[in-house]
Amino acid sequence: MSAETPVCQLLERQAVDYRGWVWVAPPRDAWLETGEGTALSADLAVREAWRARGRPAHSPFEDALPEAPGGAVLFWPKSHALGEWWLLWLCATLPAGTPLQLVGENQGGIKRVLKVLAALGLGCRKVDSARRCSLFATRLAAVDLSPQAVWTAFEADLGDEPLRLVSHPGVFGHNKLDAGTRLLLETLPEALPGGAGDVLDLGCGDGILAAWLARRGHGVTAVDVSAFAVEATRRTLAANGLVGEALESDVYSALDGRRFAAIVSNPPFHQERAIDYGPAARLIGEAPEHLERGGQLILVANAFLPYAEPLQRAFGGFEILADDRRFRVYRAVKR
């Protein structure tokens, strides 16, 4: 099977035996998923795709990782800070001297890794370039920085008692309060009175919605496809002395048919740089199956996003609770 993505097409033409290697933060590509090696990804959807083909896949927060892989390939992410975290994590986790290749699209910032590697004291050489992508090679070594240093915390001013949010590169809303989330939070007190049953925070990010809900007495379950987001939410809840459950879930996949009094969300619509309505469409279309009778879906979205039709189709109607021309807050109720 031939590679589908430009970065994998570049790798496919290398004279390297990748058996026993680890693919770090890989894209969805059947050439990888049916080939050799082990996936290491914070994206649950990627790991489940590999496992569905009988292939090994791990989260960076698991202990069961290959102790001495033949090498590692890091797919440089859109977030430069996230790429730096992966480098620090690999240096701290895999044996010194392990071969490391770094690959990415030129417009995605892969050429900046030269300065990053130099700052860490790691040598580097360019191996190949094609399809507007570049491939570099180095070897892992012990470095002075810990991957834990990349975690940050900041105060979110919500007009009442602030929340302390713990954040990680690559998590939505990293180190700031998103304007759409702020509009949603301004709308929730009237739409969702305190203590009104169990609430699902779908696409929890750094946990701001989960923490806000937990502080007002709701039973909170927070889910996200990203292991970084789930860990950030757990740390945010702990930092504020709040109780809630945070789970990795590809939309509703981990919920085993559980039903909630409400689902709240600021759903994603990007996958790296591409627009992807898939997760939001599933969120809306499957929401009635996870709501109690009379339960409500409350979500915020960019005003240009086409969510009216799927809301109408799934619920038979909806209302707009807020609209500041940039964002809209929608509510739909299960009858």
Q: What is the DSSP annotation of 87-138?
A: HHHHHHHSPTT-EEEEEEEGGGTGGGHHHHHHHTT---EEEEEETTEEEEEE
pLDDT of 195 above 80: no
Q: How many CA atoms lie within 13 A of 8 on its CB side?
A: 18
Supply the pLDDT for residue 160. Answer: 72
Task: Provide CB contacts within 8 A for 103, sequence distance 6+.
Answer: 7, 10, 11, 73, 74, 75, 76, 110, 133, 134, 135, 136
Say if residue 53 is exposed, middle or buried (CB neighbours under 10 Å; 0-12, 13-18, 19+).
exposed
How many residues in total does the chain contain?
335
Range with the poorest average pLDDT among 55-64, 76-85, 326-335? 55-64
Residue 246 has pLDDT above 70, yes or no: yes
Average the pLDDT over 66-94 and give the result.
92
Query: Of 63-67, 78-82, 231-235, 318-322, where does mean pLDDT reach its minimum?
Result: 63-67
Q: Kindly state the percentage of the chain with pLDDT values over 90.
A: 84
Per CATH, which fold does 151-333 belong to? Rossmann fold (3.40.50)
DSSP tag of 27? P
Average pLDDT over residues 213-228: 96
**What is the pLDDT, as a whole number, of residue 141?**
97
Please compute the mean of the pLDDT values over residues 78-82 and round it to a whole number: 91
DSSP state letter for 43: B
Residue 275 has pLDDT above 60, yes or no: no
Mean pLDDT of 98-103: 98
pLDDT reported for residue 28? 95
With a cut of 70, say whether residue 299 has pLDDT above it.
yes
pLDDT value at position 66?
67
- Mean pLDDT to the nearest integer, 227-233: 97
pLDDT at residue 279 in the model: 83
Task: Average the pLDDT over each of 67-71, 90-94, 254-258 and give the range with the smallest value.
Answer: 67-71
Give the pLDDT of residue 270.
Answer: 45
Q: Which part of the chain has CATH 3.40.50.150?
A: 6-148, 151-333
* pLDDT grade for 272, boundaries at 50, 70 and 90: very low
User: Worst-scoring range by mean pLDDT, 81-85, 106-110, 253-257, 278-282?
Assistant: 278-282
Instruction: Record the pTM.
Output: 0.93
Architecture category of domain 6-148 in CATH: 3-Layer(aba) Sandwich (3.40)
- Quote the pLDDT of residue 68: 80
Inform me whether the pLDDT recorded for 208 exceeds 50. Answer: yes
